[in-house]
Amino acid sequence: MLDFAIFAVTFVVALIAAAFYLYPGSRKITTVPGPDSSDEKYGNIPDITKHGSMFEFLKAQHNKYGRIMSFWFYEQLVVSIYGPELFKECSALFDLPKRLFSLFQPLITEHSINLTNGAEARRRHKLYSKVLQNPTALRKYLDIINDECRRNSETLREVPEDEHISLLNSSIVLSSRMSYRLLFGFDKSAEEGRRLTENYRFIWDYLEKSLSPNFMQDTEQFERRKNEVHAAVKNSLENRVGKGDGLFVDVLLENVEEKEVQIADAVTMLVGGLHTTGTTITWALYFLMTNPRVKETLMREIFDVLGDDPIDFEKFNQLTYVKNVIKETLRLSKLATWSGRISNVEITLGGHKIPPNTPIMIANAVSHDSEEIWKDKDQFMPERFDENVEPFQFEPFGFAGKRKCPGHKLSMLEMTVSLTTLLRDFEWSLVPGHEKVGFKFGLVTIPDKEIWVTIKPRK
C-alpha cells in the first residue's frame, strides 16, 4: 500500500511538473528568467506587438532580466541571449530553430536551406560557402560588381540635379540587379530591377506584419508577387542549364537534383543579398551625410587609394576605412536584429540548463546596442574597428566556422565596391527636412521614413 501511495504521489508530481513546463501560461521548469505568457495561444506575441518590434521587446526584457532570458513564441519556449560570452557558449551549434524561421517559409518554402538541418544542411552550406568565398570566384564576382556599379552610375548621371531620389529604392534596385547577376549570371534591365524591388519590399513588409495576431492578410497580392519572384528564378535556372561558369547557379544545378530545392535555395540567397547590400548602402550613405567628419576621412581614403583607377583586389584590400564604415553601419543600424540556433541535447548557457530542442535566439541587435559592450554606442565611429574587437563581439553574418552566412565575403565585396563607387562618382545631399531619420525595426531594420536625396556628378 505504501509503495502504491509513493508511486501515485510521484506520478501526480510528474504530471504537474510536465504541465508547468509545457503550458505557456505556467511557470517554466528552467532557471532562465523571463516574462510569463500573456496569451494561451500566442504566448508573448501580443507583448512583442505592444513594444513595436521583436528588437524593442528583446531589449526591454534583457534590460529587466539580464543577458539571458526566456519568453514564449506562441506555444514555444524560447531562450534569448546577447553578449560575446554567451554567443561563444553556443557558437558550436549548427542547426537552426525551424519554429522561429517559419516566419520566412511562405517566401522561401520548407525546402530552403534556412529550414533544413543536419547532414543535408551541412552539405549544402559547405557547397555554397565554397563557391561564394573562394578567391578565384571572388575575382570573377568583382568584375561583375564593377560593371554593375558602372551601369548604375551611367543611369544616375541622367537624373537632374534637383530631382529627389528615394535612397532606399535606389540602393535596392542596384543590389537587386547586382545580386541577380552574381547568383544567376543574367543581366536585369532597370525596369526589371525596379519590379523585383517592388515585389521584394511588399513581400518583406507582409512577412514582418504577419507576426502580429491582428494582421489583416492580403494573401492574394502576396501570392501573386511571390509567384512572380519564383517564376523569374525558375526561368533563370532553366535557361542556365549547360552554361556552367562556376557561379552559384552552376554549382546549385550540378549538386542539387530536386527542382523545388533549387528554387528554394536560389530565392533564399537572392533575398539575403537584396536586403543586406541594399539596406546597408542606404544606411551608410545616410550616416555619412549626417557625419561630415567621417565622410571627409572616407573620401580622402578613396581618392588616395584609387585616384581614377578601377577597383581591383589589391585596391579593395587597401580600403580599410570604407570597410570600417560598413561594419559600423551594420552595428549602429542594428540591421539584422536576431538569428537563432537549436540543440537536440541539453546544453548549458550562462549557468542555466537549456532543455533539448529549445530555440535559442541570438539577439544581435541588442548586443550591438549595448553601452556595456560598445562605448558611445549611439555615435557613428568607424574608428572603433581600428582596434581589436573581442571575439563574438561583432558577428553580423553569424558565427564563424559553423553556420556563418555563405555569402558574407561576397556581401562585403559588394558593399565596399558599391559604396566606394557611389561616393567617388557623385556628391550626395539630403533634401532639407530629411536630416532626422529613425529606425523601423523588423526582420531587417530600415529607415522609418523615406530618405530623399539629390545627387551631383563629380567632375
pLDDT in tens, 133-153: 989 889 999 999 999 999 999
Burial 279-304 (b: 16+ CB within 10 A, else e): bbbbbbbbbbbebeebbebbbebbee
Which residue did the predictor score with more confidence, 20 or 255? 255
**pLDDT, tens digit, for every residue of 103-118?**
899 999 999 999 999 9
Nearest partner of 175 among 310, 282, 331, 306, judged by Cα: 282
pLDDT at 218: 79
What pLDDT, in 10s, does the model give residues 326-354? 999 999 999 999 999 999 999 999 999 99
Determine contact, residues 360/342, Cβ cutoff 8 Å. Answer: yes
Mean pLDDT of the chain: 89
As a whole-number percent, the residues of the chain with pLDDT over 90 amount to 74
**Is the confidence at residue 2, as pLDDT, over 70?**
no
Tell me what pLDDT residue 29 has.
64
Residue 149 annotated as lining a ligand binding site:
no
Q: Is the pLDDT of residue 10 over 90?
A: no
pLDDT value of position 237: 92
CB atoms within 10 A of CB 446: 26
pLDDT over 60 (residue 455): yes
pLDDT band at residue 28 using 50, 70 and 90 as cut-offs: low
For residue 319, is pLDDT > 70?
yes
What average pLDDT does this structure show over 176-201? 84
Q: What pTM was computed for the model?
A: 0.91
Q: Which residue has the cell 507576426?
A: 211
Question: Highest mean pLDDT: which of 14-18, 29-33, 165-169, 201-205?
Answer: 165-169
CB 367 within 8 A of CB 82: yes
At residue 17, does pLDDT exceed 70? no
Q: Is pLDDT of 92 > 80?
A: yes
pLDDT attached to residue 16: 38
R_g of the chain computed on alpha carbons: 23
What is the reported pLDDT for 423?
98
For 63-77, 98-112, 237-251, 417-431, which range has the lowest pLDDT when averaged over its residues? 237-251
| pLDDT tens readout for residues 357-383 | 999 999 999 999 999 999 999 999 999
Q: If pLDDT is split at 50, 70 and 90, which confidence band does 403 have?
A: confident
For residues 340 and 75, give the distance between their C-alpha atoms in angstroms, rounded to a whole number: 17
Quote the percentage of the chain above a pLDDT of 70.
Answer: 93
Q: Give residue-wise pLDDT tens across range 205-257.
A: 898 888 777 776 778 999 999 999 999 999 999 988 767 778 899 999 999 99
Q: Which cell goes with 401? A: 566556422
Choices 1.20.120.80, 1.10.630.10, 1.20.140.10, 3.30.2130.30: CATH for 31-457: 1.10.630.10
